[in-house]
Amino acid sequence: MPRRPSPLPDSPVPEADGATAGSAEAEAPARARERRQRVQSAETGMAVLKGLARLGGRASLTALAAHVGESPAKVHRYLASLVEEELVTQDSGSQHYFLGAAAIQIGVAAMRQADPLRLAEPALVHLRESLEVTCFLAVMGNKGPTIVRFEEPGLPITVNVRVGSVLPLLWSATGRAFLGWLGDEARVRALAEAELAQADGRHRASLAAERPIAQLCESVRAAGCAWVRDTNLPGISAIAAPLFDHAGRVRAVITALGATGGFDPDPEGRVGLALREAASAASRRLGHGAAAV
């Protein structure tokens, strides 16, 4: 008798396909939940690390837990992971937690990239485009405040300053902004005193008669910015605000200027508020106030 052919393997039945599809559909929400949990865990870990930084880089478990609004047990679990990664370390005596070597390395790398010229450039462009004013960035050079970046609107005003120009400390808004926070430095103070000794009657009259440099510094610091009307350049008004780094030191100054009469240098005016906000944002990118945020 001829042999019967061997039966073919059973073909998959529709029920099996349906079961596989159903299993995949059931696994999708589980994977989504797992992703959300990982994201939430990362967010909590970062909140603990940032909380430790806000507390000055050192805190007890109880203080840190209260600061981030989590239970001590939960914060302790995250701290254990951060210790393993050397982002946090614990003092064996006090049991306080400190920022670790890896966190310090990250901070040092960030500070190396904190270039005021690069970080302030977007602010200059935004001010020029949104306010249609001339603005520039200056740093403190050997001879005084020196312009390093200059932005002009479509209809610029005529001024005899450009990139490389050195501005006076006492008579320009830019110089006064530097002087407000650097006036105690011997080199800066000597430059200001030399300007005052050479000043004419009109310029001297714009300053206080008693302790002119000291009182100018005090008024600038109190306002958080400096402004002038026709003091440095006739017909030109300006307002300037400092950029601070992580140590609270002035690294640069942003200045906006315009023709007196059509330009309002009032710190509470439209230009003043925008300029101060731009300087504050650039300062935050430089690390200013990071420990208190």
Which pLDDT value is given to residue 293? 40
Condensed to tens digits (0 to 9), the pLDDT of residues 135-157 reads 999 999 888 999 998 888 876 66
Question: In this predicted model, which residue has the larger pLDDT, 71 or 246?
Answer: 71
Residue 15 has pLDDT above 60, yes or no: no
- Residue-averaged pLDDT of the chain: 82
Condensed to tens digits (0 to 9), the pLDDT of residues 47-58 reads 888 888 888 888
pTM more than 0.85: no
Which pLDDT value is given to residue 111? 60
Spatial contact of 117 and 149, defined as CB atoms under 8 Å apart: yes
Residue that is written with structure tokens 């400190």 in the block: 98
Task: For domain 14-110, give the CATH number.
Answer: 1.10.10.10
Q: Residue 236: name the closest of 156, 179, 121 by CA.
A: 156
Which pLDDT value is given to residue 2? 47
Distance CA 68, CA 91 (A): 21
Residue 1 has pLDDT above 50, yes or no: no
Strand partners, 98: 58, 89
Average pLDDT on 9-24 reads: 52
Domain locations in the chain as residue ranges: 14-110, 114-292
One DSSP character per residue, the chain reads -PPPPPPPPPPPPHHHHHHHHHHHHHHHHHHHHHHHHHHHHHHHHHHHHHHHHHTTSEE-HHHHHHHHTS-HHHHHHHHHHHHHTTSEEE-TTT--EEE-HHHHHHHHHHHHT--HHHHHHHHHHHHHHHH--EEEEEEE-SSSEEEEEEE--SS----S--TT-B--TTTSHHHHHHHHHHTTSHHHHHHHHHHHHH--HHHHHTS-SSSHHHHHHHHHHHHTSEEEESSSSTTEEEEEEEEEBTTS-EEEEEEEEEEBTTB---TTSHHHHHHHHHHHHHHHHTBTTGGG-
Which pLDDT value is given to residue 21? 52
Which pLDDT value is given to residue 7? 47
Condensed to tens digits (0 to 9), the pLDDT of residues 211-236 reads 899 999 999 999 999 999 988 888 88
What are residue 251's phi and psi, to 5 degrees? -100, -25
Condensed to tens digits (0 to 9), the pLDDT of residues 56-112 reads 888 899 999 999 899 999 989 988 888 888 888 998 888 999 888 888 777 766 666
Condensed to tens digits (0 to 9), the pLDDT of residues 167-214 reads 999 999 999 999 999 988 999 999 999 999 998 888 888 787 788 999
Same fold, 14-110 and 114-292: no
Highest CATH level, class, for 114-292: alpha beta
Distance CA 89, CA 100 (A): 5
Residue 3 has pLDDT above 80, yes or no: no
Spatial contact of 222 and 197, defined as CB atoms under 8 Å apart: no
Q: Residue 120: name the closest of 107, 137, 132, 106 by CA.
A: 137
